[in-house]
Structure 1
Amino acid sequence: MTDLPEPPSRQQRQQQTRAALIEAAREVFAELGYHAANLERIARQAGFSKGAVYSNFSGKAALFLAVMDANLETVWSQPTGSADTPRPDTSSADVFETADEAELDQVIRGFALATLEFIAVAARDEELSAELQQRMQDVVDQYTQVAHDSQIVDDELTPQQLGTLLTALDQGSGLLVLGGTDLVDDDLLGVGMQRLLATKSTTDEAGPVKTAQHADQPAEAGADRTTNSHIQDRLLRALGNPTVQD
């Protein structure tokens, strides 16, 4: 007789419920926005009662932060050593699971718009503002690591400062796209980031010596990206930057 599998433990069931609620919340927030989304709709879409939400989260703001955390956790867990994987492999985690790329892009854009609503709410709430700042600092830290790993040679900007600028370029470009401008696309954003990561030249008696890509050498749009560039792609997608396209 084949042994039956052990039933999931209480903790495992709670983790499964939490994951289902987060996935449903991502879709509802993307569809309706932060303000219009309600916990009853999210619970129903996940297949639970509203009480299940309050058993796992203190409220809508906490659930929204949990979606952000799930997005970023997917990013941080991805390996960065292969240039053949410019996008996160989400087959083992249901984050960003969707039927096709068009639907995925719609979810990304919708969640980005919901995030703008949430930022406005958090700005008026000291506790939520601190929570949001912590997550944005995590993103800055990741970009700082990108700058550090790129072996930046710059006597003016530290990797921390470069990480902050990369984050600002990332979030600012996303805001422009959400506002309806078509001036920023993935190629232009990539060029801007590559310019920030380009090392400055050092000078000796014989003149300037290029230590890597020179700061005044424009990067070609659509050129092959480095391994660190893939981290940038993942961060942009996790935070819902609509400039990122496949």
Structure 2
Amino acid sequence: MPKGMTKRRPLTRAALLQAALETFAEQGFHATSIEQICERAGYTRGAFYSNFTSKDELFLALFDAHSERIVQRITELVDSIAAADLTLQRLVDALSDIDPAERDWYLVTTEFTLHAIRDPQAAQVLARHDARLRTEIARGLTEHLGRAGRALTVDPDELARLLIAIREGGLAQSYVEPEQLPPGGLERRFLAPLLTALSTERSAGPAATQR
């Protein structure tokens, strides 16, 4: 491949991903055609297929990029807190932070999840990407809690599943009833007592170690 093409490829891919996210959010995953994505991004079908084999693969690329942004956002928020000030509540505040742009992603990922529930092959692939995200969440949560002076007493991966379920379920209710439940409201209200119940002070002795 010529050097110019190599340099342009990341820009082409980024434009296609952004166009796909916007079009999926507006029209739905199934209703959106590859041609519409290409038209919005300003590229040809050839450019699309040089980067992705299908809409499913494109969605999974969006999923991984979004996962990386979420983990990075939380990490940056926690890292911005001085060690002496990192309490459990300050950690919960960081975990409860919801970007206003999250609504578009929620629409897209919810529809793809329903697609995966109906399609076993898509479910297997999505599950692998979910597992990678949970690993990062579990690792980060263990590390952040440790900085706050606490250690988990439950399996970090299972807790990551629970936190994802709370986040996704809470957002569903928030986007239907934004005035009654602002995004992140459930987390701000209940994560502190939940994490307190599922962890222990690190100075408490051997029982504070993870299982």
Say yes or no: TM over 0.5.
yes
Structure with greater helix percent: 2
1:138 and 2:132 equivalent?
yes
2:117 paired with 1:123: yes
Residues 88-107 of structure 1 mapped to structure 2, 5 A cutoff: 105=100, 107=101
CA distance in 2: counterparts of 1:142 and 1:189, whole angstroms = 19
Distance 1:130 1:179, change over 3 A: farther
Residue in 2 that maps onto 1:32: 27
Alpha-carbon shift at residue 74 of structure 1 (Å) = 2.7
Aligned position for 2:11: 16
Query: Is the CA contact 1:144–1:163 (under 8 Å) kept in the aligned structure 2?
Result: yes
> Which letter maps to 1:68?
F
Q: Identity over the aligned pairs, expressed in percent? A: 31
Change (3 A) 1:8 1:191: farther
Q: Given the alignment, which residue of 186, 191, 194 partners 2:192?
A: 194
| Cα deviation 1:168-210 (Å, max 9, x = unaligned) | 21122123334547654323322322222225697xxxxxxxx
CA contact (8 A) 1:57 1:63 kept: yes
| Corresponding position: 1:64 with 2:59 | yes
- Say whether 1:164 aligns with 2:161: yes
Equivalent-residue separation in structure 1 for 2:141 and 2:66 (angstroms): 22
Residues of 1 paired with 2:27 and 2:21: CA distance?
A: 10
TM-score, length-scaled by structure 2: 0.70
CA contact (8 A) 2:21 2:104 kept: no
Amino acid at match of 1:22: L
With structure 1 as the length reference, what TM-score do the two structures score?
Answer: 0.61
Tell me the alpha carbon deviations over residues 91-116 of structure 1, each in whole angstroms, 9 at most, x when there is no partner.
xxxxxxxxxxxxx83x5323312222
Q: Which has the larger radius of gyration?
A: 1
Instruction: Determine if the alignment matches structure 1 residue 51 to structure 2 residue 46.
Output: yes
Confirm or deny: 8 A CA contact 1:143 1:163 kept in the other structure: yes
User: What is the Cα-based RMSD across aligned positions, in Å?
Assistant: 3.0
Q: CA deviation at 1:153?
A: 4.5
Question: Which residue number corresponds to residue 81 of structure 2?
Answer: 83
Choose the corresponding residue for 1:175, options 172, 175, 178.
Answer: 172
